[in-house]
Amino acid sequence: MKIQLQHLTKKYPNRNKKEGGDIIAVNDFNFTIPDGKLIGLLGPSGCGKSTTLNMICGLETPTSGRIFFGEDDVTDLPPENRGVGMVFQSYALYPHLTVRQNITFPLENLKGKDKLTKEVMNEKALEAAKLVQIDQLMDRKPGELSGGQQQRVAIARALVKRPRVLLLDEPLSNLDARLRLQTREEIRRIQKETGITTVFVTHDQEEAMSISDEIVVMSAGVLQQIGKPQEVYDDPINLFVAKFLGTPAINVFDAAVKDGRLYIGDEPVLETPGVEDQDVYAGIRPEGLTLTEDGPFSMKLIRVEVMGRDTSLICLSPFAQADTVRVIVPSDSILDPEAVSVRFTVKPAKIDLFRKDTEERIRL
């Protein structure tokens, strides 16, 4: 089911009466989620991503704008009539009911001609439980399950009615690191198997990038960029997106363009033909620098961290915004560990320039 958001806006009255006015949680959202895809809504906390999810779900009504599922306008429909399944961050399992009862709960609420017999309900519950591999735990209570198992029950409950849209709010945040990796692959597998259009919310960019077909980056209620994870990573439209995506984070330098060259300090590091002379931010990905003996860009070397697969160089530059600069080089790079200063060349594809005033990307 294709989901379309048109000029979606959500305002809350300001709790602080002195300031007055409204707080805009989501500001004029327009985007289309293609049918059968897994979409990650990504942004720092408080950016409005959960509000957006709740509006798609129907738990919150938009102040203005419309929501379409396929051709149907669902903006004014309550959640139960939208055909959505939702997995809450806290899982929200009913603690007094068994796994089976939790999964059949949505089915028991069906009325009139949709009403199911007990056998059909149990059959459907078992089918959903098998999909998330918890069919052995049907008679347990949620309190007797691990976090990962509870998560699966929550997904099974959301899927049992065969929703048109599956929504997940921070699905991995309550799991430990190892389980997180496993569960996100699981979510991907379930989504592929069912083909249900799925939207999930996360503040963890790695999580979003690893399993999403497309990511939607948000900041302060404003949509920043939509695209395939790699595209957004390689081609950020502004400094916020560039900084938000990627671990380790992008290194940002105060730099200047002069006579078609990019200068960091007084070192000309890159040819930038066609760019007006101006002060800029230069964002260089950790993997965007190559050790070169007579390279144009030099930094002070503080520490070398050997990771096995590659090596991290922790460097110092007076022009960097952060305290240290992290550079990742292949582990077979030739480096004198005693060196005080190292020189690099810049990979043109891994450096982005941003305007100082608007922080918009400057296209090269």
Partner 1 sequence: MDKPNRKAWLYLLPALVFLGIFMVYPLFDVLIYSVEEGYNSASQTFFGVGLYNYSYVLRDPYFLQALKNTFILVIITVPLSTGIALLISLGLNSITKFKELFQTIFFLPYVTNTLAVGLVFMILFKKTPYSDGFINLLIHFFGGSTVDFIDGPYWAKMFVMSFYTVWVVLPFKILILTSALASVDKDLYKAAKVDGASRGRIFRKITLPMISPMIFYLIITGFIGAFKAYADEVAIFGTNLNAAGMNTIVGFVYDMLYGDSGGYPSYASAAALILFAIVLTITVINLLVSRRTVTYS
CB of 79 or CB of 260, closer to partner 1: 79
96 forms part of the interface with partner 1 (CB under 8 A):
yes
Q: Could you tell me the smallest distance in angstroms from the CB atom of residue 141 to partner 1?
A: 8
**58 belongs to the binding site for partner 1 (CB under 8 A):** yes
Angle at 106 between CA 157 and CA 93, to 5 degrees: 45
CA pair distance 360, 4, nearest whole angstrom: 27
Angle between helices 147-159 and 118-131 (to 10 degrees): 130
Alpha helices in 162-249 (DSSP H): 177-194, 205-211, 229-234, 239-244
Site for partner 1 in 139-178 (CB under 8 A): 143, 157
Which position among 3, 86, 153, 223 is part of the footprint of partner 1 (CB under 8 A)? 86
- Nearest approach in angstroms of CB 90 to partner 1 is 5
For partner 1, give the closer residue by CB, 107 or 257: 107
Q: Which of 80, 79, 57, 72 is nearest to 10 (CA)?
A: 57
Smallest separation, CB 167 to partner 1 (Å):
9
Query: Dihedral through CA 190, CA 191, CA 192, CA 198, nearest 10?
Result: 180
Question: Counting contacts by CB under 8 A, is residue 105 touching partner 1?
Answer: yes
Pairwise CA distance, residues 310 & 238, whole Å: 28
Handedness of CA 27, 30, 36, 40 (dihedral sign): negative
**213-186-144 Cα angle (round to 5):** 140
| 68 makes contact with partner 1 (CB under 8 A) | no
Contact flag: residue 80 with partner 1 (CB under 8 A):
yes
Q: Taking Cα atoms as reference points, which of 275, 284, 237 lies closest to residue 257? A: 275
Note whether 79 binds partner 1 by CB under 8 A: yes
Q: Residue 156: in which H helix or E strand, if any? A: helix 147-159
Q: Cα–Cα distance between 235 and 308 in angstroms, integer?
A: 29
User: Are 90 and 154 contacting, i.e. CB atoms less than 8 angstroms apart?
Assistant: no
Is residue 319 involved in binding partner 1 (CB under 8 A)?
no
Q: Smallest distance, Å, CB 78 to partner 1?
A: 7
With contacts defined by CB under 8 A, name the span among 55-63, 68-76, 117-125, 270-278 that binds partner 1.
Answer: 55-63
Site membership for partner 1, residue 40 (CB under 8 A): no
CB of 108 to partner 1, least distance (A): 8
Could you write out the DSSP letters of every residue in 58-116? Answer: TSS--SEEEEEETTEE-TTS-GGGTTEEEE-TT----TTS-HHHHHHHHHHT--GGG--
- Measured from the CB atom, is 7 or 162 closer to partner 1? 162
Stretch that binds partner 1, among 77-85, 192-200, 271-279, 348-356 (CB under 8 A): 77-85
Query: Among residues 170 and 352, whose Cβ is nearest to partner 1?
Result: 170
Stretches 86-94, 123-131, 177-185, 221-229: which one binds partner 1 (CB under 8 A)?
A: 86-94
In angstroms, what is the minimal distance from the CB of 153 to partner 1?
12
Q: Contact residues for partner 1 (CB under 8 A)?
A: 57-59, 78-80, 84-86, 88-90, 92, 94-96, 105-106, 109-110, 143, 157
